């Protein structure tokens, strides 16, 4: 058995990585739009717009939607709607929730009117929103980082 010089092993490994990388990139591109149904939903977009308008009034930069955070916020909104429980989640980010308002504008205005919720709205640079209606009840969730 012969041992190849170290540079040949390193070079061969690098070439393998370079050949494999395009396959990973193509796979990642396919997944990028996987959750567009949520982050491009008109209600979620309205929540983002209204939050960013309030942040601009307070001299804060615009938030960007984070897909993972949106999915988890949506999961919590769905859980509240399914169970009828109205409570905060155990998500690892500052969170605002609301039950009752029937429009995104009403939910955001309610959060603005609450000093504790308003201060959370003005934190972070990324956000995730969730929204669900069940049996006539509207549930809203926002998480920030």
> For residue 110, how many C-alpha atoms fall within 13 Å in the half-sphere facing its CB?
17
pLDDT tens string, the chain, 145 residues long: the values are 444 455 454 444 433 433 333 433 334 444 667 888 788 999 999 999 999 999 999 999 999 999 999 999 999 999 999 999 999 999 999 999 999 999 999 999 999 999 999 999 999 999 999 999 999 999 999 999 9
Structure confidence at residue 11 (pLDDT):
43
CA–CA gap between residue 114 and residue 139 (Å, rounded): 17
Structure confidence at residue 39 (pLDDT):
84
pTM (global) more than 0.85: no
Question: Beta-carbon neighbour count of residue 140 at 10 Å?
Answer: 26
Structure confidence at residue 32 (pLDDT):
63
Is residue 125 within 8 A of residue 61, CB to CB? The reply is yes
End-to-end CA distance of the chain: 55
Is residue 81 within 8 A of residue 73, CB to CB? The reply is no
**SS3 of 1, please?**
coil
- Strand order from edge to edge, sheet including 95-99: 64-65, 126-134, 137-144, 95-99
Domain architecture of the chain: domains with CATH: 36-144 (3.40.33.10)
The region, left, alpha or beta by phi > 0 then psi within -120 to 50, assigned to residue 132 is beta
């Amino acid at each position: 058995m012969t041992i190849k010089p170290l540079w040949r092993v390193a070079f061969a490994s690098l070439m393998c990585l370079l050949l494999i990388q395009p396959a990973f990139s193509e796979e990642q591109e396919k997944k990028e739009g996987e959750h567009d149904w949520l982050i491009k939903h008109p209600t979620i977009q309205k929540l983002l717009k209204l939050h960013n308008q309030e942040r601009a009034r307070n001299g804060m930069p615009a938030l960007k939607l984070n897909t993972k955070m949106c999915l988890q916020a949506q999961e919590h909104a769905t859980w509240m709607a399914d169970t009828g429980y109205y409570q905060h989640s155990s998500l690892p980010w500052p969170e605002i929730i609301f039950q009752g308002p029937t429009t995104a504008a009403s939910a955001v205005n309610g959060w603005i009117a609450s000093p504790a919720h308003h201060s959370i709205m003005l934190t972070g640079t990324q956000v995730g929103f969730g929204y669900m209606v069940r049996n006539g009840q509207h549930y809203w969730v926002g998480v920030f980082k």
